Amino acid sequence: MELLNAVGNGLLVGIVLLVVLTVLVAVHELGHYWFAKLCGMHVEAFAVMVGGVRKTDLSGRLTKKLVPASWLWGLGSSVSVLTFLAAFFEQRIAFFVGMGLLTVVGPVWVISRLSALYHRPLLVGLRTLAICWMVVLAIIGLGTGFRFVDPGYVISMFFGGSATAVLLLYYAPVLGAQDMEGNKGRGSIEVEGTSVPVRFRPLASWTNKEGTEFSMLLLPLGGFAAIKGMLPREDASEMKIEKGFFSRPPSQRLLVLFAGPLFSILLGIALLFAGFLGQGEPVQTTRVASAVDAAAKAGLKEGDKITAINGQPVSTFYEMVSKVRYSFKEEGDKRTPVAVLVAYERDGVTKEVSITPKVTDTPVPVLGENGEPTAFERYQARIGISPESDFKPISAQQAFNDAVSAPVSGTVQLFKVFTNFETAKESVGGPTVMVEQTSQAVKYGFWMVLIMAGSLSVMLGIMNLLPIPPLDGGQMVIAFIEMLRGNKRLSLTIQNGLHQLGFFAVMGLMLAAFAIDAGRRAEAGMAAMKAESSSASVDQKPKEVQPKESAATTPQPVK
């Protein structure tokens, strides 16, 4: 039963995340689509998700017969199920063997099949796999310094690298196409000096009377609205394409580019309003949602309720933070943390443990009673606890005000991320953080899922406004410059240079997010190791505290 619950919860979290991201991207692209039509541009394709399925049968051109693909799918599925069961029942050897098969043997087998189908040298495919693995290794090194690395996490990262390599090789015929604009999955391979067309098609599609193909593709986490004539050309002939993107004035191009982020932000505000109104205002409690650093080392766990700090009762998270934040001695530039005595309840038993907090490396904003940062910044001591929240009803006016302020606070937070490394380290995250946040939202229910989706939508809109090509904001900067030049196009060399710089900048941001994820996992692993060693030490064991006669308090259920 426990296994079924774990599988069911994992599937639910995965489905919720997939649906949320698909809807958010679809609405973003819908903004581009509608405004492109309003400005007289023709949209050739509107797709939810990315990548298609190869529809061209290449088996007749093989030089030697391959093992049936059904064998590959059957063996892969069987190994995946057995690996999951091994992980659930903590059979480490079986788990690592299974992940090794899925990460190395399986991908190499698939790459050899693709190499044969596409008549490409096997070494080219293996080199792509090696490059992806080196990128993963660099991410882990940057994030952890190769210290306290969780082997399971490392293998999962390499599995992701293998999957990326396989996908790059699967789509190699279309990725190498000379004219990517409007080719709708058309590619080719070379067979004995002859070019053979290879077509990739969506899982499902239909075309309206205006000639726009609406489709659902294969891979999640993406989508696009392909507007006619969006690719610049050497002779600037893109400006003469009928109903093309560049045939319209720069002001209209600006509007079309801005529409995507605008729709994302408006959708985010609507979802946040509904979520805030339905869920209510969060009130941080002293119950532990997660414990890291010193708290994890001391043995605190999710669900523990902090009742006192240094013998003084606490009933709110703010009171707890206030009693811990200045628990350090300052001598010149040196700040030495001072241990605090933390009393907490677990399973009806009150215990006490001494925790030595961690002092921030730089001054950080002091939180007010409402949980929001104030204008004051100080060095502060932290024990590493994230609180659970209860919720109280709020008015529609307050829900609307909170929702409308989200884009402003999100922009401020993004600015801090780019100007303060500590803020970036705490705020930025990759897929791991997304999954964790989705899991927490699912735990609280529908309204919290809406709040999570709204926050993601707002940040999607804000991120796309960054002045970095190929993001919408970067293309808007180019359109604005051309508007100032009297609709005179920038040279193709400058445009290509800007897009290449932007591509590397975006890739750098993505790699940084992955590295920060890896660093968090390493810190969690380090804390777990210290907690395990501390629990074996007699002087670190929590002391049970005899209950005193007092009015019983019952934790309020989370709505």
Instruction: State the pLDDT confidence band at 492, using cuts at 50, 70 and 90.
Output: confident
For residue range 94-112, what is the model confidence (pLDDT) as tens digits? 988 999 999 999 999 999 9
| H or E, element range at 283 | strand 281-291
pLDDT of residue 179: 54
Which helix (DSSP H) or strand (DSSP E) does residue 280 occupy? Answer: none
- Which of 26-35, 147-156, 252-261 is least confident? 147-156
Task: Tell which residue, 202, 199, 239, has the closest CA to residue 217.
Answer: 202
The answer to whether residue 250 scores a pLDDT higher than 80 is yes
Write down the mean pLDDT value for the chain.
Answer: 86
pLDDT above 60: residue 252: yes
Paired with 284 in beta bridges are 389
DSSP-derived letter for residue 557 is P
Using 50, 70 and 90 to split pLDDT, how confident is the model at 529? low
Tell me what pLDDT residue 182 has: 53
Q: Cα 438 to chain center, whole Å?
A: 10
- pLDDT tens for 79-95 read 999 998 888 888 889 98
DSSP E strands in 257-304: the ranges are 281-291
- pLDDT exceeds cutoff 50 at 259: yes
Q: Is there a contact between 149 and 140 (Cβ–Cβ < 8 Å)?
A: yes
Higher-pLDDT residue of 494, 29: 29
Length of the chain measured in residues: 559
Query: What percentage of the chain carries pLDDT values higher than 90?
Result: 50
Largest Cα–Cα distance of the chain, in whole Å? Answer: 90
pLDDT greater than 50 at residue 479: yes
Q: What is the mean pLDDT of residues 333-342?
A: 91
Q: Which band of pLDDT confidence, cut at 50, 70 and 90, is reported for residue 402?
A: very high
Domain locations along the chain: 53-201
Among all chains, which residue has been given the structure tokens 């934790």?
555
pTM metric for this prediction: 0.80
Question: 234, 466 in Cβ contact below 8 A?
Answer: no
pLDDT tens readout for residues 211-241: 999 999 998 878 999 999 888 877 778 888 9
